[in-house]
Amino acid sequence: MALKQRSDLYRRARELIPGGVNSPVRAMQAVGLDEPVFMRRGSGAEIEDVAGNRYVDWVMSWGPLIFGHADPATLAAVVEAAEGGTSFGAPTRAEVELAEEIVDAVPSVEMVRLVSSGTEASMTAIRLARGATHRDRILKFAGCYHGHADALLASAGSGLATLGIPASPGVPSGAAGDTIVCAYNDVEAAAAAVARWGEGLACVIVEPVAGNMGVVPPEPGFLETLRALCDASGALLVFDEVITGFRVARGGAQERFGVLPDLTVLGKIVGGGLPLAAFGGRADVMERLAPAGDVYQAGTLSGNPLATAAGLSVLRRLRDPAVYERLETTSARLEAGLASFGRVQRVGAMLTLFMRDEPVRRFEDAQAGDAERYGELFRHLLARGVYVAPSQYEAWFLSTSHGDVEIERTVGAVADFFR
Ligand SMILES: *Cc1c(COP(=O)(O)O)cnc(C)c1O
């Protein structure tokens, strides 16, 4: 099937927007496209480009759309909210209700603050950890992405890894100099780092299931060890659950793996597809935030009515365990269908098909996958109406809109490629 002609949008975009896109991975360079696919609408598990080609979508806006595109209940909630005004810059009832919903769902979260992006949430969680501990250093893991704040742009996954940029110009050496980077799943390295720098360590931040180097589950004992190291050193444990929150379980990876952090960063699903993120955790730490405490953070559109309405609509429906049972079943089916074509790593409704046979435990393993081959697979699938993550360092995301039809079509197209 030949794709219908695309438009001149990319040419115009490149004259106006650096690289033609508003977030680097959208350029789809990692999979060898000479121009990105411009999308115009979506419905359920399907997305449509500006030329009218339709695809089964396994990207789902990088994870937020747990009920699929243009989910009617979410839309209704947003429209109703919009009719009452889009932003007040004053507190609203919906913010309190969303906070209640988050605190009820996420085991370690006692208090929460709403912000507008995952970057903002993790950046502020780091500031809060530093403010609360009066320490500067942070420990992160190679291949984990926590947004693009300066201190966190040391050896991040996704966009950076994809583009092969080790760190970014414009980040002062001082800002990244307090960031210690260890290999994911390497408990000895983490223990050695804490032994060496523990006194000055404000926090250890980790994706409890890595999703930005492809899906890499925590090995048994990894998260538990981080918890113990933090307890012994006085550093705070921060789980970046921007992807895993409300996805691998209602209460995120902390529920699924039974390890509780001090602070949790949320994004993506929590905003129901609108720009909303959050961070929360122990009340004594959260109360250090202004105006209750002295650690500053603010936001004009934080907790705005549209995003809060979308988040509330989605989170309320995620109280139903049947949602997670369905996601687990369909995800397991997709995994089984793909398993003979490479190394599939899955936790709940997120998975990656790595172009290698050996397990991927850390970033170096992911980098050893055949990116060229993955690019060929991506282009093959795109031509057959299947849109998967445009980089091997990303997850495929399932929604409740995905079912047997989408799985059969996708697995069939993948099988064709390997034939
Ligand atoms: C997407 C993501 C972020 C950043 O969120 P934005 O809303 O894109 O700023 C942070 N952490 C993780 C784990 C993510 O996947």
Ligand 1 geometric centre to CA of 4 (Å): 33
Residue partners of 317: CB distance under 8 A and separation at least 6:
67, 73, 323
Per the CB < 8 A criterion, the answer to whether 389 and 28 are in contact is no
Exactly one of 10, 145, 184, 324 is catalytic; which is it? 145
Q: What is d(CA 153, CA 149) in angstroms, rounded to the nearest whole number? A: 6
pLDDT of 170: 87
Pocket around ligand 1: residues whose beta carbon is below 6 Å from it?
117-119, 122, 145-147, 207, 211-212, 240, 242-243, 267, 277
Record the pTM: 0.96
Phi and psi angles of residue 280, each rounded to the nearest 5 degrees, phi first:
-160, 180
Question: Each residue of 217-229: pLDDT tens digit?
Answer: 999 999 999 999 9
pLDDT of 5: 59
Per the CB < 8 A criterion, the answer to whether 298 and 287 are in contact is no
Return the DSSP state at 160.
H
**For residue 82, what is the enclosing H or E element?**
helix 72-83
Q: What is d(CA 345, CA 150) in angstroms, rounded to the nearest whole number? A: 30
**Tokens representing 162?**
């994809």
Strands 54-57 and 386-387 come out as: parallel
Ligand 1 geometric centre to CA of 179 (Å): 18
Ligand 1 geometric centre to CA of 408 (Å): 30
> Which atom belonging to ligand 1 lies closest to the Cα atom of 212?
15
Does the annotation mark 240 as catalytic?
Answer: yes
pLDDT of 160: 42
CA angle 144, 147, 152 (to 5 degrees): 65
Spans of the chain below 50 pLDDT: 1, 157-166
